[in-house]
Amino acid sequence: MLDTRTISLPDCRPLLADPDDLTVVFQPIVDVASAGIAGYEALARFPGTATPDVWFAAAADAGLGAELEALAIIRALSALPDLPADTFMAINVSPQLLGSAPVMAALAAVPTLRRVVIELTEHSPVDDLAVLREQTAALRGRGALIAIDDAGSGWSGLQQLAELRPQLVKLDRSLVAGIDNDPVKMALAEMVGAFSSRIDAWLLAEGIETVGELAAFARLGVPLAQGWLFGRPGPGFATLTPQVVDLIRGQVARATLAESVASLLRPVRQHEAGDDDGAPAPYVVLDRTDMPTELVLSDLRTGQAYRAPVTLRVPPSAGVAETLQRALTRAPAQRFDPVLCTARNGEVLGLLRVEDLASASAAKA
C-alpha cells in the first residue's frame, strides 16, 4: 500500500470539476501462442508529476475515491467503440469501491459489458467476500469478465481466487521479474498457473521486460503476457511491431512445449439454453452471453443423452500430455467426459475426447 504520510497529496477536487484533465492510455496484452493482441489495459494518467497511485490515494484521503475511480472508468469505456475487433479492454476497480454508487453508475453507462474485463486491483483484504461475489456475478450477467490483479501478493491469495473464481488471473510482477534465473519463482508461477487452470481461468504474466522472462513463460505455456517488452502504454490501440511479433514467435517456437491439442479437435454443435430440446448429442449449451455452461453427451451403453457441466476448458495451444493429466484428475463422474477447447474470447472451437488424448500421448511416448 502507498504510504501517504510522507507524500504531499494533490488536490483532486479541481480534476473532478474539469474531468478533461484525466486521460487514459492503453497497454497491449499479448496472446503468446498467436503473437497477436488479445486486449488492452486502460490506465489513468493525471496532470503534473504525481503518479496515478498518488492521485488515487489523495482521492481516498479526501473521501472522493469512488468519484475518481468512476471518472477513470467513464473515460476508459468511452473508447470502447474504437476497440479493435476480437480484443478486450481491462479496466481497474478497487474491490471496496465496486459497489459504490459512482462506480456502479459508471459501469451502467454502457449498454453491455461484453469485451470488458473488470480488474480487481486492491492490495488490502476484502471485508466481505460474499458481497463481492454478488457484485461480480451481476457484472458477469452483463457480459463482463472478472480478473484479479497481482496474484501471489497482497490480498490476491489462493483463497480469494477460489472464492471469486475469476476468468483472468494476473501474476504479480514480483514473480515475473528475473524468473528466467530463479527456479523458485518459476515453480511459484507454475503453481499459480495450474491453480488458475483448475478454476477455469487464464493466466496473464504482467510486467515482462526481458527476452529471458518471455522465454520462461513461453516454456510454461502461459497464454497471456503484458509488459514493456511488447509495448508501452499509449493514447490509442497500438498494434505490435513486426520486430515484437517475430520475437514472440521465435520464443514460442523454441519453447519445449508438448504437442498441441489443436490437431485432435472434433467439431461440436452449439445451442443456446432453452433452444436445445430434441437436438442430437453431443452439443454445447451456451448461456445468454455465449459462454459454454453444459455439455450434452450420449451414454455409450444406453444411447441416452445426459447433461454434464463444463469441467475443463483449454486453449488450442495446450499440450496433449498436460491436458490428459488434467482431464484424468477431475471428479470420477466427469473424468472421461470430453474436454472443451475454446479461444481466448470464450468461443467454442471443438471437443477433445479423452481417448484421443490418451492415444496421442501414448504415441508420443
What long-range pairs does 235-239 form, CB within 8 A, spacing at least 24? Answer: 235/23, 235/25, 235/26, 236/26, 236/82, 237/26, 237/40, 237/79, 237/82, 237/83, 237/84, 237/87, 238/26, 238/28, 239/28, 239/37
pLDDT per position as a tens digit, 179-192? 998 988 988 888 88
- Return the SS3 of 43: strand
86: phi > 0 → left, psi -120 to 50 → alpha, else beta; which? left
In the predicted model, what is the mean pLDDT of residues 58-80? 91
C-beta separation of 62 from 13 below 8 A: yes
HSE-CB at 94 with a 13 A cutoff on CA atoms is: 22
What is the pLDDT at residue 259?
A: 62
Instruction: Count CA atoms within 13 Å of residue 309 on its CB side.
Output: 7
Report percent pLDDT > 90 for the chain.
Answer: 51
**Consecutive H or E run containing 339:** strand 339-342
Q: What sign does the CA torsion over 222, 226, 231, 237 have?
A: positive
Cell of 346: 470464450
Q: Comparing C-alpha atoms, which of 92, 91, 21, 20 is closest to residue 50?
A: 21
pLDDT tens-place string over residues 241-274: 999 999 999 998 877 444 688 878 999 999 988 7
Handedness of CA 248, 250, 252, 254 (dihedral sign): negative
Q: How far apart are the first and last CA of the chain?
A: 49
Q: In 3-state terms, what secondary structure has residue 42?
A: strand
Query: Is 80 exceeded by the pLDDT of residue 130?
Result: yes
Q: Which fold has domain 261-364?
A: CBS-domain (3.10.580)
pLDDT class for 4, splitting at 50, 70, 90? very low
Q: Chain-wide mean pLDDT for the chain?
A: 87
CA 96, CA 148: separation in Å to the nearest integer? 14
Q: 3.20.20.450, 3.40.640.10, 3.30.365.10, 3.30.70.60: which CATH number matches 4-254? A: 3.20.20.450
Mean pLDDT of 204-211: 95
- More confident: 198 or 38: 38
Return the domain boundaries, the chain. Answer: 4-254, 261-364
Q: In the prediction, which pLDDT does 6 show?
A: 47
